[in-house]
Structure 1
Amino acid sequence: MIRPGYLTAHQTARVLDVQLDTVRQLVRRGQLARCGGSPRQPWYAVADVQALAARRRTLDAA
């Protein structure tokens, strides 16, 4: 069961409108941090995902 305030990798991919592999790449590049879960089922903080989504929208708009 996931705690409130966190998203699964699949939910994160949906919010960012990217593929699951892209979420893994964002973690490898240090643009997104895992905040719990397990190595196979990581969790990401909602605030971090929303901030990254906003940054990506800003870059896309520029």
Structure 2
Amino acid sequence: MRYTSVPPGLLTTELAARACGVQPATIRDWVRRGLLHRTAGSPRHPLYAVDDVTAAQHAPKTNRPGQRAQR
């Protein structure tokens, strides 16, 4: 299910990634790490609140074992 229009204040994974200047995989990684939670939509097509995306973007990120250090 692709959204033809997204409700105001919500972003799809692709729109959230574009707004943050990252790849969609990064948004999914933030969700997996618990930095971002789905506000609406379905598990396959989640929607995120703009404020939650901004908070996740600015949240301190921890490195996983074997991951390169952030610059």
Which interval holds the TM-score relative to the shorter structure? 0.7 to 0.9
- What residue number does 2:38 align with? 34
Count matched residues: 56
| Structure of higher RCO (CA pairs closer than 8 Å, 6+ residues apart) | 1
- Which has the higher Rg, Structure 1 or Structure 2? 2
Alignment check: 8 A CA contact 2:35 2:59 kept: no
Deviates more, 1:46-55 or 1:29-38: 46-55
Q: Which runs of 5+ in 1 are unaligned?
A: 57-62
CA–CA separation in structure 2 for the residues paired with 1:9 and 1:54 = 17
Q: Percent identity?
A: 48
The alignment's TM-score, normalised by the length of structure 2, stands at: 0.68
1:54 deviates by 3.7
Superposition RMSD on alpha carbons, in Å? 1.5
Q: Which runs of 5+ in 2 are unaligned?
A: 61-71
More helix by proportion, 1 or 2? 1
The alignment's TM-score, normalised by the length of structure 1, stands at: 0.76
1:51 deviates by 2.2
Q: 4+ residue runs of structure 1 moved beyond 2 angstroms? A: 51-56
1:40 deviates by 1.4
